[in-house]
Chains A and B, each alone.
Chain A
Amino acid sequence: MADLSTYQNESVLWNAFRQGDIEAFEQIYRTHSTALLSYGKRLSTDHDLVKDAIQDIFIEIWKRRENLRDLHTIKFYLFRVLRNRLTNLQQKALTVSTEDAPIDEELLLTPSIELILTEEETLTDQQHRLQRAIEALPNRQREAIMLAFFHNFSNDEIARIMGINHQSVINNLNRAFASLRVSLTDFSLVLCLLLNYF
């Protein structure tokens, strides 16, 4: 496998790819395949479907390489195309949402995550609990969290990947933060109350 050092920099890599250099293309694939698989498997439990979709997308990219703009937009492009494809292929799995309901202000007033993650717990415990809490989030909230914190997309990019508006992304994130607090509060309600009110 070629590594990036074969190419002096990203623009050399990108130009090589545009001219039909398969090694450059493999490099681009390898850069994004892990993240895409991970993202795709969160969107669909049918992993074969995800793999097929990723394969199709890269073949499409190869065919249309002349028209692609640059390397910096490709990650975003890949995510958006993958999501569209999976959404079309399995409509129902992704459309369950209460996303545009107003945020429950009550949730925002519950104890903050920092208080829950007290120093009395070990780091591992904190992480496990936060992890479980994220797993338990509604699909869209969890997706927004993953795109924002694991894949490091901006809110604008998340909006376009998920096909929702900018404000909805912020709402989803806030709702997720609120839910994380709630679900974690159940585990350590007493502790939180103590910290919060005394």
Chain B
Amino acid sequence: MKEKNYRREDFVADSYFRQWVISPDDASSTYWQLFLDQHPEQRETVRQATDLVHKLSEVTTRLAGPANRSEEDAIWQAIQREIVQNQEAPLTHEPVIRPVWSRFGRVAAASVAVVAGLSWWLLYPTTAPLQKTRTHQSATSRPLQLVEKINTTQQPVFVVLTDGSSVILQKNSRLRYDKTLSGNRREITLEGEAYFDVAKDPHKPFIVYANDLVTKVLGTSFNVRAYAGAKDVVVTVRSGRVAVFPQADITRAPEQLTSDKLTGMVLSPNEQAVFNRTDARLVQTRPNETADARALAFQPVSFDYQAVPVREVFKDIEKSYGLPVVFSNQAVGNCRLTADLREGTLAQKLDIICASVEANWDIQATQIVVSGRGCHP
């Protein structure tokens, strides 16, 4: 503003003037003070202009109407849901989800350059207690979209993978995997404890790396306990058959990973393998009822239903998987289900139940939320 004799509206229409009035800083204060020194005759106009800016600011605040918190919450819920579906991540305040592709992309590219054509090491940042973890990936140019899920809550968290497999991640545990699970095998790195309910795909083995032990399955359910500080890695099988072998063996016989046969130590339901990390010894045992209460708790209930209210069905799910199920509308619990749910992963079971009673399910925080119109009792 260089010329003289402005009207107060000229000041008010000037954004630098408004900024000075509403949130003055050193630069704007100096500027307007200098202006007033040079144009003392404008003092009164500036005073009135200041006053007008304040008045308009007040009045427009009233015009904006009160904040509608519930509306804002509802929109946020919808945004969260959408993000969860795209990332299949447990989505709340507690579990932290970090797609780590951007951070590791460079490391990955560098590694490929050095050992092109071989399998390579993927180095994770060595923040304690996370130890160096190895994922075997063929050195193709396909970019990895690494997803990392950390359960920092005190409850188990349910994670659904893109292939339909379900993972129940226990507290203080983390999973890392390529989001798309593409390639000729489905590979997951685990630290801590998780229960895996693997969708059947005989041509794409599902492989869990945990503390130097490799667990390979074609479609089944099992629990892996591999906390960073613990000397043992424990794999407990609930259904189907599972192969386990020390990670060191892979260097010797890499085909173990890709073949659609199970080699190494093969476990059947209610069998357990304990891998001692100190001497790299792998022994087969029977689960101990006390020590493995959680792994054994994932026992199949009948899961074969004839006109049973879904309220009961979800109770079985809660009991079997250790995850709370809540209804957004209690009437949903009245709907009756006739179905055989013995096959399939948890996610697939939920899909079937919800499709039959016209409901939807969703993972919110540490619980499964079922919503729908519901049925009369």
Contact = CB atoms under 8 A, between A and B. Distances in A.
Contacts of A19: 98, 102-103
A51 interface: yes
A4 B225 CA distance: 36
A156 B15 contact: yes
B22 interface: yes
B51 to A, nearest CB: 7
Contacts of A146: 60, 63-64
A155 B103 contact: no
Given A126-B55, A150-B60, A152-B22, A38 B65 contact: yes
Nearest to B77: A55
B52 A113 contact: yes
Contacts of B68: 37
B59 interface: yes
Contacts of B118: none
B63 A134 contact: yes
Given A20-B98, A23-B93, A150 B65 contact: no
Contact of A59 (B12, B59, B83): B83
B71 A37 contact: yes
B323 to A, nearest CB: 20
B75 A150 contact: no
B302 interface: no
B60 A145 contact: yes
Given A20-B98, A37-B71, A152-B22, A145 B56 contact: yes
B97 to A, nearest CB: 6
Given A22-B91, A34-B72, A127 B9 contact: no
B160 interface: no
Interface in A17-45: 19-23, 26, 29-30, 33-35, 37-38, 41
A interface, size bucket: 35 or more
Contacts of A126: 55
A130 B55 contact: yes
B13 interface: yes
B336 interface: no
A183 B216 CA distance: 78
A114 interface: yes
A66 B102 contact: yes
Interface stretch (A80-88, A93-101, A169-177, A186-194): A169-177
A139 interface: no
Contacts of B92: 22
A173 B19 CA distance: 16
B299 interface: no
Nearest to A1: B93
Contacts of A63: 86
Nearest to A126: B55
A152 B52 contact: no
B22 A20 contact: no
B128 interface: no
Contact of B53 (A51, A149, A156): A149
Given A23-B96, A113-B52, A177-B12, 7 more contacts: A21-B96, A33-B72, A37-B67, A55-B82, A114-B8, A149-B57, A152-B19
- What are the 10 tightest A-B residue pairs by CB atom distance, in nearest-first order? A150-B60, A154-B15, A149-B56, A38-B64, A34-B67, A155-B15, A33-B72, A173-B13, A149-B60, A177-B9
20 contacts: A1-B93, A19-B98, A22-B97, A29-B79, A34-B67, A34-B72, A51-B71, A59-B82, A112-B7, A112-B9, A126-B55, A127-B58, A130-B56, A131-B62, A134-B60, A149-B56, A152-B19, A153-B15, A177-B12, A177-B13
Interface of A: 1-2, 19-23, 26, 29-30, 33-35, 37-38, 41, 51, 54-55, 58-59, 62-63, 66, 108, 112-114, 117, 126-127, 130-131, 134-135, 145-146, 148-150, 152-156, 158, 170, 173-174, 177
